[in-house]
Amino acid sequence: MSKLTHIDAEGRARMVDVTGKADTVREAVATGLVRMDAATRALALSGDAKKGDVRAVSEIAGVMAAKKTSDLIPLCHPLALSKVEVSVTPHDEGLAVTARVKTTGPTGVEMEALTAVSVACLTIYDMLKAADKGMVIEAVRLEHKTGGKSGEWKRLHTL
């Protein structure tokens, strides 16, 4: 089993010291799905939901969440993000969310991409729950990352 980087020699949680790590361009892409019935998806795509434009509000919520990741996840480093792009698109079974996050620095942006997707999905749920309480948020996952010592990683099967 590999050593966990957020645990010190005494088994206590710690923020990883990235002082000596080189700044590299780092990018992460995460995805998620909000499964819903066809009528709810049509409502979301119409832009006529009672709370407003579901796609636009969810995309903005995802961008805002990426910027707040270190406030939400205790051991994440605060990062200067150079790009956050969140898109909500139609999917056969609901709405798919994709987040692409980029920075130049000593640590990666996987958590920021995953946080962006998670909050965008939660926003979709919040905006549409009056129409469909049976929606399911699922498959939130890292799809691709580049940069740093570990280099490139890519999921073999995507949504």
Task: Provide the annotated active-site residues.
Answer: 126
Give, as one character, the DSSP assignment of residue 77. P
* 146 within 8 A of 152, measured Cβ to Cβ: yes
CA–CA dist 159, 153 (Å, integer): 16
Copy the structure tokens of residue 139: 């498959």
Question: Where do the H-state alpha helices sit in 2-159?
Answer: 38-46, 54-67, 69-72, 110-128
Copy the structure tokens of residue 56: 């636009």
Start-to-end C-alpha separation, the chain = 29
Rounded to a whole number of angstroms, the CA Rg of the chain reads 17
CA–CA dist 106, 18 (Å, integer): 6
